[in-house]
Amino acid sequence: MADIFAVIADPTRRELLRLLLDRRPDGGESSVGELVTALGLSQPTVSKHLRVLRDAGLVHVREEGQHRFYSVDEEPLSEVSTWLAPFLGVVETAPQDARDLASLPPWTSPVPVPAPLRRAAENLPAAGDVGTSLGRAVAQAQSRILDPVKKRLGRADHP
């Protein structure tokens, strides 16, 4: 299992897995070309990452002529999810049904979650950092641009 963590530590490979998971309701396969287009990376780079995912048993490959089609193998991801469950702090006071639903990994959810919503939820912890950076940038712009103009016009804010 340690190998799986090393494999999914790479952000490009996580994005590849996410793209393949998003395709699951539509048949679950994506060609290398589709993945190259979606990621905006070169074909050799995407193929290298797909080979690492395949060697780790995280994806299946189907060859059709010179084309390769990839899909997610959910079994290793379920094992990782099961192993991580005790560390995620499932609330013990919740009704059993709620705990069961909360413990489902996203790739086994009975209701497909739209990709933009899943990405937003996964990136939500970073939203605070983005908000802080944005707030600082606005404050710096105000002190650098607006405050001198207000001062010249005699409209400086008085505390």
Q: For the segment 60-86, what is each residue's pLDDT rounded down to a tens digit? A: 999 999 889 999 888 888 888 777 777
pLDDT at residue 99 is higher than 60: no
What is the band of 53 on the pLDDT scale with cuts at 50, 70, 90? very high
| Count of alpha carbons within 13 angstroms of residue 121, beta-carbon side | 8
C-alpha–C-alpha distance, residues 70 and 111, integer Å: 22
Q: Looking at per-residue confidence, does 148 or 120 come out higher?
A: 148
pLDDT category of residue 23 using cuts at 50, 70 and 90? confident
Domain boundaries, the chain: 1-113
* Whether the predicted pLDDT of 123 surpasses 50: yes
E runs forming strands in the chain:
30-31, 59-64, 67-72
Please report the pLDDT score of residue 91 as a whole number: 44
Class of domain 1-113: mainly alpha
Which of 13-22, 99-108, 131-140 tops mean pLDDT?
13-22
Which is more confidently placed, 122 or 16?
16
Rg (CA), the chain: 23
Write down the pLDDT at residue 155. Answer: 63
pTM: 0.54
Report helix angle 11-23 to 43-55, nearest 10.
80
Give the percent of the chain with pLDDT over 90: 24
What does the pLDDT read at residue 48? Answer: 95
Strands 30-31, 67-72: parallel, antiparallel or unpaired by DSSP? antiparallel
